[in-house]
Structure 1
Amino acid sequence: MTTRRVVITGMGVVAPGGTGTKEFWEFVTSGRTATRLISSFDASAFRSRVVAEADFDPVSHGFGPQEIRRMDRAALFAVACAREALADSGLDAVEPDRTGVTIGTAVGCTMGLEQEYRVVSDDGRLWQVDHTYAPRHLYGHFTPSSIAAEVARAVGAEGPAAVVSAGCTSGLDSVGHAVDLIREGSADVMIAGATDAPISPITLACFDAIKATTPRNDDPEHASRPFDRTRNGFVLAEGAAVFVLEEAGRARRRGAQVYAEIAGFAARCNAFHMTGLRPDGREMAAAITAALDEARIAPGDVGYVNAHGSGTKQNDRHETAAIKASLGGHAHRTPVSSIKSMIGHSLGAIGSIEIAASALALDRGVLPPTANLREPDPECDLDYIPLTAREKKTDVVVTIGSGFGGFQSAMVLTAPGRRAA
C-alpha cells in the first residue's frame, strides 16, 4: 500500500519578537532576544519575573470587539495564525468535509479563566463565587476544545477536529496527529499547530514553586541560556504557530509552494518522574530513532537538529545524551540550536513554533543561532551554533521536544523533492 505523504504548504506565526512568519524568521536568525521583565501585571512578588511577550494587537489582525471579548488570548493567536497560514498556502477555499483541525495547547485558556475568576470571586474575596457576574462565553475558556472550534469556524473546516494537550510536546504531537489523519485518508488538508498564552499570575506561581524558571531578573535580555554553563532555568513565553498540511499529490497538482515534507514523527514517555529526566536520554533517543526509521533516513543524513534547549541543566544534558545516542558518531558533526534562547518557552505552543523554524531553515538555507551561549557547559559538547546564525543548506532537519510528565517527541522534516514521489 502506498503511504500518503504530507507536506507543509502554508504557515502563520505569532511569537515574541516577531508577529507574522516573515518577522518571526528575521528575528530568530538575528541572534537578538525578546526576553524582558513582565509588563502585563505587577509581578514584583514572584521569584522569576522574566518572560517573552508577543507584541500582538488583535484589532490590527482584524478581530472585532465581540471576538476579542469572546476569545481567550490563546484562541486569538491560533485564529490569527490559521488565517495567515491559509493565505500563505494559496488556497482560496477549503473543501469543508475533507479539511480538519488539530491544535495543541498545554494550558488552554489560562488567561481568560484567571481574569474571569477574579471577577466572579470579587478578586478572591468570595469563597462561593457569584455566577451572575460570569459572561456567557466563560464555558469556552473552561474547555480547551473551544480553541479548535474557533479555528475550524474561521477557516470553514468540517472534518476531524481536536485539541492535543501533552504539556510541552503538544505543538509537535498535534502536528503529528494531523499527519496521521491525512495519511490514513480521513482528511486531505489539515490546519494544524499549537497555541499558548500562559503569562498570568497562576502560571508564574506554578513554575516558581518548582524553581523551573530563571531568577535572572537583573539581566532579562540574557536570561535564557540553553547549553551555557551559567544557565539556571527557562523563560516563560507565549505564542502560536499554525500550518496548512496537505497530501503531497494534491499540493503538487495545484502547484502549491512546499516548505517541507513531514517525513517522520514519533513520541515516547519515560514513565519515570513528573519533572525529572533520566540523564541518558534514552526515551528521547528512542523517539528520534523511530522518527528517522519512519522517514527512512539514516542518522548520518541529518543536517540540523532544532533542539528543545530549554535552558535547564537537566534538560540540556539529557538532550545532549539523546542526540549522541540516536545519531552516533554523526552527532558531533551535526549543528544544533535552540530558539528558546531568543523567544523563550511558550509551553505547548513552542513545538509548533520550532517546526516553523525548522521548515524555514530547510527553505532558506540558514540555521538559527543559540543566543547567549558564551560559556559552553563541558557536559554539553555538541555544535550548538552560538550567537550568530549559520548559512548551511540542508535537506533533513530533526526537531525535538521534551515535556513534564516524561513526554518526548521527535519530528523529521525533509526538503521538497528529497524523496522520490
Structure 2
Amino acid sequence: MTNSAASQELIILRGRGRVSALGVAAEAYAPGRPGFATHLLGDKPLAVAALPAALEEQLAALRKSQSAYRQLDRTVLLAILAARQATAQAGWGGGNDQLTISNEQLPVDLDSAREKPKTKNHQPKTNLGVSIGSSRGATGRTEHYHHEFLSTGAVAAAASPLTTLGNVASWVAFDAGSTSSAALSHSSTCSSAFQALGNAVAWLRAGMADRFLAGGTEASLTGFTLAQLHALGIYSPFAAADFPCRPGAGKPSTFVLGEGAAVFALEKVGRAALLLEQQHQPGRPLLVLEGVGFGFEALGSKTGLSTDGQHFQTAMRQALGQAGRTAAEVDALVLHSPGTPAGDAAERQAIRAVFGGSKPDLVSNKWLLGHTLGASAALSLDFACQILATQSWPAPPFATDLTPAPTRPIRRVLINAAGFGGNAASVLVSVV
C-alpha cells in the first residue's frame, strides 16, 4: 500500500456501526458497565458476552424482514446490522434509520435473490466494495447442519452456500445494493477484521472502488465453541458479575468469549478536498485511517506466539511506517490483550521493544465486551474512535496495568489484534 504520508489522498472513516454485548450505542462504553451474562456448559457456569435482549429483538426483526434472510447465519445478520449503522452515520443515503428494518419480502428460494430487489440500506449507484472478516464464519449454521446430518443422514441443499465464508460479505453487499464491486470475506483468526480493513484500504488507494464497508463479525457463542475454548484452559474462573475478563491483570487466565460486529464506512479523499470540507464544516472532527500493518510468525505451535511478540512488533512498526509516524506520536494504544497471561505478556514485551520509554496510554474494551474473535479488532477500532471523539475511557475496577484515564490529549491511537497461527495486525487512526 502507498505510504499515506507521501500521498495526497487520505482514507476517511465516514461512519461506523457496532453490535455487541453493550448494545449498539457508541456511548455505551462510557459508564464502564460490562455486558456479561452466565451460560451453562453442561453443569458448569461460564461468563459470556452475549447480546442484550433489546438487540435480540432487532436481530429477530431483521431475520423476518426478508425471506432470504431467514436462513442466514447469525454472524451475517450481525454484520448487516453494523453495516446499516455505518452507512447511516456516513450519510450515504441508503434510506435506513440506524437499525430500521425493511418489511419487503423476497421469495424463499435463495437463488431468486439474484434479482437484487432494494432493501432500505440500498446505496446510490456507486462503486461500493465490501470487505468483512470473521474467524469462525457461519458457526451456528455449520453446527446445525452437521447435527442434522448426524441425526438423519441428510443435508439441506442450502447447507453449502449458507456456511461458506464468502456468504458473510456477499450478504452485506446485497443489503447495501452493491452489485458489481468487491465482496470479500476474510479469515485470519482474531485479526480477521484488520485483514479485511487492509484489503479495503488497498482497493481504495488503487482506485478500484469509491467507497468501502469494512469490518468484522462473529457469532460463536455455541456450546461446541465454548467447549473448545474451555478445553484450552484459558477460560475465566470468575462469575459474570465479578468482572470476569481482566486484561493486564496477570494470573489466572481470564479469557471470556463474546459475540458482535463492527463495520466502517470508508472513503478516499484528497487533501485539498478535505481542507475545503473542513472550511465548510469547521469544528467537525474527521477520523483518518493512517496505516494498517501486519506481522506473522511461523513457530509450529498451537498459538504461534513468541514470548517477545515478534508479530506484534512487525505489525506496529509497519502501521507507523506506512503512516510516516514515530512511536512518540501515538497517544493511546488499544491492546489486543485477551486476559491470558502469556498473550498479555508477549504484547507488553512487543510494546516495550517498539515504544521504549515513550509508551502510550494502554486501554482495552475486552473487560467490557469480552473477546469477540474475528470481530474483536473491529470493535477495538470502534472503541479507539470513541476515545478520539470523547477524550475519555472508563477505568477498570480491578488491578491491572491499563491506564485509568488519559494522561495527555488523545489525537492518535494505535490498535492491536492477533490470533492463533502467529498473525498480528495493527491500525493507526487519528482525528483531524
Structure 1-normalised TM-score? 0.86
CA positional deviation for 1:137:
3.0
Q: Counterpart of 2:268 in structure 1: which amino acid?
A: E
SS class of match (1:225): coil
Q: Does 1:204 align with 2:226?
A: yes
- From the superposition, tell whether residues 394 and 156 of structure 1 become closer, same or farther in structure 2 (CA, over 3 Å): same
Aligned counterpart in structure 2 of residue 225 of structure 1, from 246, 267, 270: 246
Q: Take 1:138 and 1:414, find their aligned partners in 2: how far apart are those partners?
A: 42
* Structure 1 residue 321: Cα displacement: 0.9
Distance 1:307 1:396 in 2: 14
Shift of 1:295: 0.6
Match of 1:178 among 200, 214, 233: 200
Q: Flag the 1:7–1:84 CA change in 2: closer, same or farther, 3 A.
A: same
- Paired position in structure 2 for 1:350: 376
Deviation of 1:399 (Å): 0.2
Structure 2 residue ranges without an equivalent (≥5): 1-5, 95-122
Deviation of the 1:68 alpha carbon: 4.5
Question: Are residue 412 (structure 1) and residue 417 (structure 2) matched?
Answer: no
Aligned residues: 387
Q: Is the 8 A contact 1:8 1:258 kept in 2?
A: no
Alpha-carbon shift at residue 368 of structure 1 (Å): 4.4
Could you state the TM-score of these two structures normalised by the residue count of structure 2?
0.84
Contact 1:11 1:88 in 2 (8 A): yes
Where do 1:9-408 residues align within 5 Å?
A: 9-18=14-23, 20=24, 23=25, 25-38=26-39, 42-45=40-43, 49-55=46-52, 56=55, 57=57, 58-61=59-62, 63-64=64-65, 66-93=67-94, 94=123, 96=125, 98-122=127-151, 129-131=153-155, 134=156, 136-157=157-178, 158-216=180-238, 218=239, 220-249=241-270, 252=274, 259-272=286-299, 273-331=301-359, 334-369=360-395, 371-374=396-399, 376=400, 384-386=402-404, 390=406, 393-408=409-424
Contact 1:6/1:247 (<8 A) preserved: yes
Separation (CA, whole Å) in 1 of partners of 2:160 and 2:242: 37
Q: 1:379 — aligned with what?
A: none
How far, CA to CA, are the matches of 1:34 and 1:356 in structure 2? 16
* CA-to-aligned-CA distance 1:285-325 (integer Å, 9 cap, x gap): 12111111111111111110000110000111111111111
Task: After TM superposition, give the deviation of residue 367 of structure 1 in Å.
Answer: 3.1
Counterpart code for 1:103: I
- CA pair 121-33 structure 1, distance change in 2 beyond 3 A: same
Query: In the TM superposition, what is the alpha-carbon distance from 1:187 to its structure 2 partner?
Result: 0.8
Q: 1:27, CA displacement in angstroms?
A: 2.5
**Shift, 1:90, TM fit:** 0.6
CA change 1:2–1:65 in 2 (3 A) is closer
- Percent of aligned pairs with the same amino acid: 27
Q: Secondary structure at the residue paired with 1:49?
A: strand
- Aligned partners of 1:264 and 1:295 also within 8 Å: yes
Between 1:306-315 and 1:205-214, the stretch displaced more is: 205-214
CA RMSD of aligned residues (A): 2.3
Which segments of structure 1 move beyond 6 Å, counting only runs of 4 or more? 253-257
Check whether the contact 1:259–1:363 (CA below 8 A) recurs between aligned residues. no
Of residues 318-327 and 203-212 in structure 1, the stretch that sits farther from structure 2 once superposed is: 203-212
Contact 2:140 2:219 in 1 (8 A): yes
The one-letter code matched in structure 2 to 1:147 is: V
